[in-house]
Amino acid sequence: MRLLYEFFRFLSHGCYLVVLFVGKGSALWAFSLSLDAEEARVAEIALRASFKISELGAVLFGEKPICLEAIEDSSSNVPMNSRFTLLGECHRQFLPIWHRISDENAPFVFIAGNTEGVTLPLWINKRAFLSTVKENLEIFQAILGPLVTPEGLLSEFTTPGVDPFVVLRSNKVLLGILLGFGKENSMLHARMEEIECPSIEREKAPLRFDHLNVVFSIDPPPYFVTWDFPPSLFTPHPVPGYCSLTEEDSILAKCFALSLDHPESKGRAIPLFGCNLLSRETKKLIRRYCVAVDKAERFLESNNFLQKILALLLGVPKVELLITPSSNSFFPDQPSLHRAIASVLVRKAFSDVFPYREGLIAGFREEAMPSIADPFLAYCETEYACLAYQNLVASDQFFSSIDPGWTEVVPQQLYYRILKPGAGTPVSKETKTVLISYSIAPIEGTSSEDHSYEDTCGRDVQHHFAELIPGMSHAIVGMRPHEAREILVHPAHAYGVDSRFEPGVSLRIKVSLRSQRDITEPLSPIAKLSLTLPEIKHDPDECLWALGYAEGAAAWAHLRQASDLIDREEVIKELEAWDPGDEQDIVAFSHLQVELCRRRYGL
């Protein structure tokens, strides 16, 4: 009955079961898989790439429970010649082949997960997954619930379209354990991130930037805009025995390192993870992954690689591969391929304005290089400076004509009006903390549409009075419990023109006070922030041209490996048309990327 079951199971996948008897009482099962020539070619390239530039070897030979890579969309900003892009295209082509030849009894799973619209191919070692979860079951149950089982978690992870971060509730300890980093290392890395993230996350409206900069000595880059942090529900405290997060972080950092820097890795391409260099767990993992890397390298050099790797993945003793002629050509005709390349470059374009297009074509032709050393940084600085000037002018114009119904705190810079009266002891300059709810957004006309920010905190949050931006803290002086105010804050008393938020933006804040607490130290007098505009070092069009040049030069440096298949001048003609193309062009380019991956890595 078992033989009949296996026969029909593989027959349904286009595969055949062959039972070979070797000597008395012994049997060797050989499974015959039927692939056309193109499927066999794609499968071998994808699997070799997964060994050589990913961590499939650690999953197969190193007891690593899972590894995952992202498939970047053709219109993403990731360069087309990056390892992630090339490996992603190989995975994209191999996924339907794997689904056809495998079933639920295979010891390894290859599945397309998804997180926030990004496809995540996951290789899963079922046995390692189950044993790892079982070994750390108390941790998984403490975070996910007491009814969690290894089998139930594996079932979730092998569901098509699974979001592993949602399943694990974005817990970095659990994710690190399943990625094979070890329990202690995962806890160490997660704690360090937990300590360091608030230094960025809490720097959001309406908090001042300098509050945590003093603690963590962080100088935020002025052109790094972070507008989408939700209100923090948890602020970490130092563990017992340490007086501050800074002290705890410095102690953890002394033993923290990357796995590739471990002396026993000896330059091998083992999985990359943060670890405690001195722990037994780390040494054991490093040694195991070194052995796995050595096995993977020998496996890559062996004869009949494709048959052997498929047998291992499917959990059968041997695979007989029957390769039939392919009915589909690997590449479309040359004009279609030229159009596909141009379509992808256009979709990835930083901008569709003329200077960028001209720079892209110049870079593709390898013409004279631009004088700007770092065009992306130069463009960000230029855009930031222009935006700061534009917003500051708009802010000044707005505050020059404020309605008389507003109460003035600082002339032409800070005003409020009472939306709902309160009762009780008013907030004073000696107040220590306030319990408030608020909504905050740019004042209409003082912010560009692309960088608008809006945050609503409907629940009551306690803030130290001195943490709030100066305009907000001084405008709520005099508020009574349950009073609501609307506040208009000029950038001079919000974030100036040097912030993580949009530069030179004026804020409209609606705040409700629940309670407050006093201390003896008074609130510092309100002082105007610096409104010195950043220097505009380059012409914006010059920066766009240089950006296009860099993208075009990098694209041709990658594509010239297939110069026997494409004509550069024909691609340029398609670029000059600047037509986005269609999905068929993207499919054709995906095939080209698989071939380029093979040539680049010698697969």
Q: How far is CA 39 from CA 18, 100, 108, 301, in A?
A: 22, 11, 20, 21
What is d(CA 505, CA 497) in angstroms, rounded to the nearest whole number? 8
- What is the predicted pLDDT for the residue at 517? 66
- What is the predicted pLDDT for the residue at 144? 94
Residue with tokens 């040694």, as numbered in its chain: 287
Per-residue model confidence as pLDDT tens digits over 230-261: 333 345 677 888 777 778 888 888 888 888 88
- All domains of the chain, ordered by start, with CATH? 2-320 (no CATH), 334-372+538-601 (no CATH), 383-387+406-518 (3.10.50.40)
Q: What angle do CA 73, 79, 80 make, to 5 degrees?
A: 70
Rounded to the nearest 10°, the torsion over CA 18, 22, 28, 30 is -40
**What's this model's pTM, rounded to 2 decimal places?**
0.70
Chain mean position to CA 277: 26
The encoded tokens of residue 195 equal 């300590």
| Torsion-angle region of 116 (φ positive above 0: left; ψ -120 to 50: alpha; else: beta) | left
What is d(CA 574, CA 578) in angstroms, rounded to the nearest whole number? 7
What are phi and psi for residue 550, nearest 5 degrees?
-60, -40
The encoded tokens of residue 547 equal 């950006």
- What is the predicted pLDDT for the residue at 73? 56
Per-residue model confidence as pLDDT tens digits over 29-85: 567 888 888 888 889 999 998 888 888 899 999 889 999 876 665 556 667 777 778
- What is the predicted pLDDT for the residue at 457? 54
First-to-last CA distance in the chain? 41
- What is the predicted pLDDT for the residue at 106? 92
Of the candidates 503, 573, 540, the residue with the CA atom closest to the CA atom of residue 350: 540
Q: Are 437 and 528 in contact (CB under 8 A)?
A: no
- Regions of the chain short of the pLDDT cut 50: 1-28, 198-203, 209-234, 450-453, 520
- What is the predicted pLDDT for the residue at 415? 94
